[in-house]
Amino acid sequence: MAFENLNEREKQVLYNLINYYIESADPVGSRVIANRFRMGISSATIRNTLQDLEELGLVQQPHTSAGRIPTDIGYRVYVDYLFKPDTLTTAEKDKIRKSILKEGRGINEILGQTCRVLGDITNQLGVTIGPRFDAGVLKRIDLIPVADERIMVVVIVESGLARSLIIEIEAAITEKVLKEFEKVLNERLAGLTLGHIKETVSERVADVAGHGRLIKLIIDSKEKIWAEKRSEDIHVSGTDKLLVQPEFARIEKISEIIKVLEDGTSLSEFIKGADEEGLFITIGHENKFRQIMDCSLVTSSYRVGNVTGSIGIIGPTRMPYRKLVSIVEYTARTISEVLSGIDKKRD
């Protein structure tokens, strides 16, 4: 259905109907629209227009005697063509920024607090996903002994972000030997993306002399060192917020959403793959997961150098898009600034 085929009256009636339904959660009749929005046309004319919109698949009647509610396609037209995002006040922006920084400046702290902030101020389910390091360019790798048979591997990318993990080794290795091998790794791998290193590290270190055990360790552990498990990088908050929404009055609906969240890898890849950069909205049956086909996702990416992650909200399709789009976009920009160190100049 081409949006261009809608006349101005149909656009305005659809816009008013969706705004009222978002606010009330009640099916909307022609008389409500006529009385509430003062469009200058009769209730009968609005009723005819609603019938036309229903034939186009933009609204539907849940019951024969009820008013209309938007369909997923109706919401899509609304989101893509009809509404303009609200402008956040200075006070709202300050609240978001200060709340994000409340728990500290570490990545996990910032992302954990951000999903709580999103849940609290939107009354939806807040979701944040850690930065995708595979596109990051390696600045330095550090090998640090932490016990007789354990070393910490710290991977630092050019944006300044870092990730670390503990790897067990078969026998103790002196710090001097570790530093020698660390120097070789940095000489051969620095300047490459982590994704490229993961695919080629075997060939790049195969001819290094005198470090057989460490070479084998780096090759055997390449999936751990150069690629992160997406399920470990997803933060979720606000399940209690959804419980007050009429769409989720039945606990079974929340349980279905929790099932998707428990498989963090799939949800993370879906959100991250929806759009590499910028705002993205998926509505109802556009979602790939059956359990959230009654929901909408509003997500946006944040960027630190050439490394990106995603934040967003999950809620009923009947969500206040105008406000929530502004909140998600501003929050993503704020995280980009904070993680890039821009915010330090302001404090």
For residue 71, give Cα distances in angstroms to 12, 74, 117, 155, 301.
16, 5, 29, 47, 27
| The pLDDT value given to residue 265 | 64
Domain with CATH 3.30.450.40 in the chain: 90-132+230-345
Compute φ and ψ for 268, nearest 5 degrees: -60, -45
Tokens of 192: 């490459």
68's torsion region: left (phi>0), alpha (psi -120 to 50) or beta? beta
Q: Which fold has domain 3-82?
A: Arc Repressor Mutant, subunit A (1.10.10)
Q: What is the pTM of this model?
A: 0.82
Tokens of 205: 């270190």
| The pLDDT value given to residue 345 | 44
Using CB atoms within 10 Å of the CB of residue 95, give its burial: 0 to 12 exposed, 13 to 18 middle, 19+ buried. Answer: middle
Give the pLDDT confidence of 278-315 residue by residue, as tens digits: 789 999 998 877 778 889 999 999 988 878 888 999 99
Query: CB atoms < 10 A from the CB of 212, how many?
Result: 9
- Residue of 37, 77, 81 lying closest to 58 (CA atoms): 77
| The pLDDT value given to residue 339 | 83
| The pLDDT value given to residue 163 | 81
Residues 85 and 329 sit within 8 Å (Cβ to Cβ): yes
Domain 90-132+230-345 has CATH 3.30.450.40: yes
Query: CB atoms < 10 A from the CB of 109, how many?
Result: 14
The rounded average pLDDT for each run of 10 residues, N- to C-terminus, in the chain (347 residues) is 83 96 94 91 94 95 87 96 94 91 74 91 90 85 87 87 84 86 93 91 87 87 77 76 80 75 67 66 87 88 85 93 96 89 48
Q: Which fold has domain 134-226?
A: Enolase-like; domain 1 (3.30.390)
Secondary structure (DSSP) of 13-68: HHHHHHHHHHHH-S-B-HHHHHHHH--SS-HHHHHHHHHHHHHTTSEE-SSTTS-B
Task: Give the DSSP H or E segment for 125.
Answer: strand 125-132
Domain with CATH 1.10.10.10 in the chain: 3-82
Question: What residue spans of the chain are helical by DSSP H?
Answer: 8-24, 30-37, 43-55, 72-77, 90-100, 107-122, 175-189, 194-205, 212-220, 222-226, 239-243, 251-262, 264-274, 321-340
| The pLDDT value given to residue 346 | 41
| The pLDDT value given to residue 214 | 87
| The pLDDT value given to residue 103 | 64
Beta-strand pair 69-70/59-60: antiparallel
| The pLDDT value given to residue 292 | 82
Using CB atoms within 10 Å of the CB of residue 51, give its burial: 0 to 12 exposed, 13 to 18 middle, 19+ buried. Answer: middle
Domain with CATH 3.30.390.60 in the chain: 134-226
